[in-house]
Amino acid sequence: MTAVESVMLPAAAPKPAAEESPARRAFRRLLRRKGAVVGLVVVLTFISFALLANVIAPYSPVEADWSALRGAPTPEHPFGGDELGRDVLSRVIHGAQASLFAGVVSVFLAMLIGIPVGLLSGYAGGLVDGFIMRFTDAMLAVPFLILAIAMAAFLGPSLTNAMIAIGIAAAPIFVRLTRAQVQAVKMEDYVEAARAVGNSPLRIAFRHILPNIWPALMVQATLTIASAIIAEASLSFLGLGQQPPEPSWGSMLNTAKDYMTDAPWMAVYPGISIFIVVLSFNLLGDGLRDALDPRHRE
């Protein structure tokens, strides 16, 4: 997992009137970074592939075609055929659905758990904070993938359970980050002012603090999606994620490793797809971080 420290951003100052909004300014800065733009374009392209898989995939991802059995790439099957003659290109396109969906859903779940807990920990302080932090430390002490494998093992192998396992395993990252950000802003004047006019702690946390720490969380989310996609591919590669015959890039690699001498293309294209998508999310995350915090532009 990417270190939490890498996205420790200063809290955005409250928006001054009649000025360009911070979001627009950040987006303008993001567009100035070539790497981030390339990352954004590639991510959007793969999202389109995933959403339009049924329309653009030339063949069914699960239907066997005995004439293309472990067939080398041809104009009809540009990425070749797999061990059952299924079109590898179509499976890569449909596999994007599982991989991107798993990446996004598991990070959403991690944020859903991590952000409220981090808000509580940072805002409440004292014993509550100590308890939550020790529990978070304990979760972080178990290597991310090993925790995900262990949970997927106990929950049972399926894409849904893999997403739950990855989401829970990634939640401590958001707890840590949210807590650190809350601690950085909770003594700011606008939080004091919100407290002084009688806002409840819950309202202060969600209405005043959260919007100001949101940019840092977004950067972390982007970088965590990259890790989650690799984690899903890893679980599927081990047979704990997407189950056959439905394709995912990890499960395609799992099958491909048994046919490396006869059909190496089965391993090449799903792997390249994972690499490109993860690289793009990393470029986008780096670009977002730089756009949101000028100190990182060294």
Partner 1 sequence: MIRFLFRRIAILLPTLLFVSIIIFGLQQLLPGDPAIAMAGEERDPQAIAEVRAKYNLDKPIWVQYGLWIGGILQGDFGESIRIQLPVSQLLLEKLPVTIELAILSMLVALVIGLPAGVISALHNGRWPDYVANIIGLWGLSTPNFWLGIMMILFFSVELGWLPASGYVSPTEDLWANLQAMIMPAFVLGTGIAAVFMRHTRSAMLQVLASDYIRTARAKGLYERVVIGKHAFRNAAVPVITLGALEFGQLLSGAVLTEQIFSIPGFGKLIVDAVFNRDYAVVQGVVLCTATAYILLNLLADIAYFLVNPRLRT
CB of 157 to partner 1, least distance (A): 9
Which two structure tokens, joined as six digits, stand for 64? 């066997």
**Residue 144 engages partner 1 in binding (rule: CB under 8 A):** yes
Q: Which stretch binds partner 1 (CB under 8 A): 62-70, 76-84, 118-126, 225-233?
A: 225-233
Neighbouring C-beta atoms of residue 203, cutoff 10 Å: 12
The DSSP string of 100-133 is: HHHHHHHHHHHHHHHHHHHHHHHHH-HHHHHHHH
CB of 15 to partner 1, least distance (A): 30
Of 130, 132, 129, the closest CA to residue 113 belongs to 132
Q: Which of 60, 239, 243, 246 binds partner 1 (CB under 8 A)?
A: 239
Question: Cα separation of 48 and 57, whole Å?
Answer: 12
Q: Which stretch binds partner 1 (CB under 8 A): 57-65, 67-75, 111-119, 271-279?
A: 271-279
Q: Which of 256, 284, 288, 292 binds partner 1 (CB under 8 A)?
A: 256
CB of 112 to partner 1, least distance (A): 18
- The contact pattern for partner 1, residues 152-181, with x = CB under 8 A and - = no contact, is xxxxx-------------------------
**Residue 134 engages partner 1 in binding (rule: CB under 8 A):** yes
Residue with tokens 């490793």: 257
Which two structure tokens, joined as six digits, stand for 177? 């980050």
**Residue 8 engages partner 1 in binding (rule: CB under 8 A):** no
Outline where the chain has alpha helix (H). 22-31, 34-51, 53-56, 88-124, 126-141, 144-155, 159-185, 189-196, 201-203, 210-238, 249-256, 265-292
The footprint of partner 1 (CB under 8 A) covers: 1, 3, 134-135, 137-139, 141-147, 149-156, 226, 230, 233-234, 237-240, 253, 256-257, 260-261, 264, 267-268, 270-271, 274-275, 278-279, 282-283, 298
